[in-house]
Every structure is written in C-alpha cells, then in structure tokens.
Amino acid sequence: MDEGRDTPDPGGSGPAVAAGVRLSEVQEAYGRYTEHATRCWGCRAIDERCDTGERLHRAYRQVDEDARRRLIGDQPG
C-alpha cells in the first residue's frame, strides 16, 4: 500500500524537473540568486557583504521588473 510518493530522490539535491521543460527567465534568475545565497557564508551572515550575492539579487530584481512591465504592456525602451 505504501507507494513512497514523498520519498526524496537520493541522487540529487534539487527538485526534479522534467526533461525539456524550461523555466521562465524570472524563475531562472531567482534560482541562481537563491542557490548562491543559501550556500554562501557571506550572504548568510548578517554582518557580512557578498558582491556576487548582491549582483545576482539585482539581476533577479531587474528581470522580474522587466517581466512585470511586459505583462502590463509598459515595455522599457
């Protein structure tokens, strides 16, 4: 009866993504930022500063803002 539906895959650390599936630009940017921020001691420490983390966060915010503008029809340019 136990089908083990919630058993994590021991082979990988991230979520499973079906082959051929592409995440949105915003999801990919957020993923790069969070992957770095969760592994970097500089990002995790309150009194530290990480240039890479800040750059990835700014890039994510810019991609997100651009996507929102496209959704409402106010494209930059």
pTM for the predicted model, two decimal places? 0.66
What tens-digit pLDDT sequence spans the chain (77 residues)?
A: 556 566 555 555 566 667 778 889 999 999 999 999 999 999 988 888 899 999 999 999 999 999 999 999 865 55
Q: Where are the domains of the chain?
A: 25-72
At 57 the pLDDT is 95
At 49 the pLDDT is 85
Q: Which of these, 17, 19, 24, lies nearest to 63 by C-alpha position?
A: 24
